[in-house]
């Protein structure tokens, strides 16, 4: 028991000594809002435009296919009373098949667009990481944190270097 206390006291003394050394040196801390940087850098704006164009094209295709399905459904509803049960069942199956195909197609296209968006954001984020490391090394930062509400609950605007990182990132792309 006495040995455990002695070990704990020695550990605390070492920790306090280390903290004293760290605190004695000048700490330079920065933080970067990665999501803001991804959204506001030129590459992020271009990626957003490209994704928006794809979404608009996809929405036009959806509208066209929905019109086709609506026309098919209206035709089925009009013809249904005049068809024999077998023909009606066949037409209904055909319509249901087209509807399922449309739904799968829509989901596949939506997933593809989401994957492209995630990939673009990931590529931009990786480029920003390199710029952040360079800014950190060039400007003598002790460490730079990612500004994130779940990790960093508060950060003074004085240590926020997001705008400098965006400018450096955009400058390297020119």
Q: Give the model confidence (pLDDT) of 139-174 as tens digits.
A: 999 889 988 777 777 778 888 999 999 999 999 876
Tokens of 30: 């920065």
Question: How far, in Å, CA of 94 to CA of 96, rounded?
Answer: 6
pLDDT at 88: 86
**pLDDT averaged over the chain?**
86
Phi and psi (nearest 5°) for 21?
-65, -45
How much is the pTM?
A: 0.71
Whole-number pLDDT of residue 134: 94
**C-alpha 135 chain-centroid distance:** 23
Is residue 28 pLDDT above 70, yes or no?
yes
Q: Rounded mean pLDDT of 53-67?
A: 94
Q: pLDDT tens digits for 99-136? A: 999 999 999 999 999 999 999 999 999 999 999 999 99
- Cα–Cα distance measured from residue 55 to residue 110, given in angstroms and rounded to the nearest whole number: 8
Q: What angle do CA 147, 149, 155 make, to 5 degrees?
A: 50
d(C-alpha 16, C-alpha 148), whole Å: 29
Whether residue 6 has pLDDT greater than 70: no
Quickly state the pLDDT bin for 9 (edges 50, 70, 90). Answer: very low
Domain spans of the chain, in order of start: 26-173
pLDDT of residue 66: 92
Averaging pLDDT over each range in 22-26, 66-70, 76-80, which range is the top one?
A: 66-70
Q: What are phi and psi of 141, to 5 degrees?
A: -75, 140
Inform me whether the pLDDT recorded for 15 exceeds 70.
Answer: no
């Amino acid at each position: 028991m006495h040995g455990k206390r002695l070990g704990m006291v020695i550990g605390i003394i070492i920790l306090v000594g280390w903290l004293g050394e760290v605190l004695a040196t000048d700490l330079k801390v920065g933080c970067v809002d990665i999501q803001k940087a991804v959204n506001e850098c030129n590459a992020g704006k271009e990626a957003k435009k490209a994704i928006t164009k794809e979404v608009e094209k996809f929405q036009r295709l959806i509208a066209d296919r929905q019109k086709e399905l609506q026309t098919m459904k209206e035709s089925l509803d009009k013809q249904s009373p005049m068809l024999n049960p077998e023909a009606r069942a066949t037409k209904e199956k055909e319509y249901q098949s087209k509807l399922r195909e449309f739904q799968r197609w829509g989901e596949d296209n939506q997933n593809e667009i989401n994957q492209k968006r995630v990939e673009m954001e990931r590529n931009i984020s990786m480029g920003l990481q390199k710029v952040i490391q360079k800014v950190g090394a060039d400007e003598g930062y002790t460490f730079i944190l990612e500004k994130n509400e779940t990790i960093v609950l508060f950060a003074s605007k004085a240590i926020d270097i997001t705008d400098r990182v965006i400018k450096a990132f955009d400058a390297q792309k020119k």
